[in-house]
Structure formats: C-alpha cells, structure tokens
Amino acid sequence: MRLDASLYSEDALVGLTDFSHVEVIFYMDQVAADKIERTARHPRNNPEWPKVGIFAQRGKNRPNQIGTTLCRVKRVDRLELHVEGLDAVDGTPVLDLKPWVDEFAPRGPSFQPKWISELMKGYWARE
C-alpha cells in the first residue's frame, strides 16, 4: 500500500519495520448498501453453523463497513508499505495503520466457537 504524498511526509512510516506486525484498518467501500446486515444470520450462509448476530462474526456486510487485519510487515520503501496477510480487496481505502504491540493482545486465555475455526480453516491458503 502507498501513502498519499500530498497528506504524508516520507518519514510517516519510519520505525514501523521495528515491529513484526501492523494492524491495518480499512473501509470496505465495495459492499452494496442493500447487502448490509443488521441482524443475525448463518455465517457464509452455511446452515451447518449457528445463526449469530453480525457483531458476532467478521463478515464484510457490516453496518460500519470497517475491516481490520493484522499483517506481517515485510518492508517499507519511503511511502510504500509492503505487508503479508492483508485481507482486503486491492484498492480498498486504508483508514489507519497501528503497530502491533504484544501488550494489546488479549489478557488471559482466549476462546472461540467451533464454527469460526471451521470457517477459518484454509482461509490464508490462497496466499
């Protein structure tokens, strides 16, 4: 991704390579307004998985259309940031970048339902 030179100086990304990961916050601008979900549904319309509210899943048809992905920082070249694992359509507007800090990870054990593990199985295989 490339920062807009009219908005940022070339030092805007300085120091980011000292972090292994960056959180990319983006706007899912290609979601049609009539596809926005505001209720519960089966994730990926799979009836094998429970019907859960839009805020209990990471589907793209969200009311706020904001997406986040934790990406590996590969390199920085002036205003250009190269990452691995960005889960966004090419050309999607990026709203913010935040370096990943271990202390912001969940405190204590984490858990999730079985269906999300099934959904995510092989998700990153396309890379």
Q: Is the pLDDT of residue 115 over 90?
A: yes
Tell me the CATH number at 103. Answer: 2.40.30.70
Q: Is the pLDDT of residue 127 over 60?
A: no
- Separation of CA 69 from chain center: 2
- Give the model's confidence band at 126: pLDDT under 50 very low, under 70 low, under 90 confident, else very high: low
Which phi and psi (to 5°) does residue 77 adopt? -130, 95
Asked if residue 80 is part of any domain, the answer here is yes
Q: In angstroms, rounded to a whole number, what is the distance separating the alpha carbons of residues 78 and 2?
A: 9
For the chain, give the mean pLDDT: 94
What pLDDT digit, counting tens, does each position of 35-73 carry? 999 999 999 999 999 999 999 999 899 999 999 999 999
Sign of CA dihedral 73, 1, 81, 27: negative
Instruction: Determine the structural domain holding residue 84 and report its residue range.
Output: 16-126
- Give the model's confidence band at 82: pLDDT under 50 very low, under 70 low, under 90 confident, else very high: very high
Q: In angstroms, rounded to a whole number, what is the distance separating the alpha carbons of residues 41 and 57?
A: 9
Asked if residue 58 is part of any domain, the answer here is yes
Asked if residue 66 is part of any domain, the answer here is yes
What's the structural domain count of the chain? Answer: 1
User: What does pTM read for this prediction?
Assistant: 0.89
Asked if residue 21 is part of any domain, the answer here is yes
Asked if residue 4 is part of any domain, the answer here is no
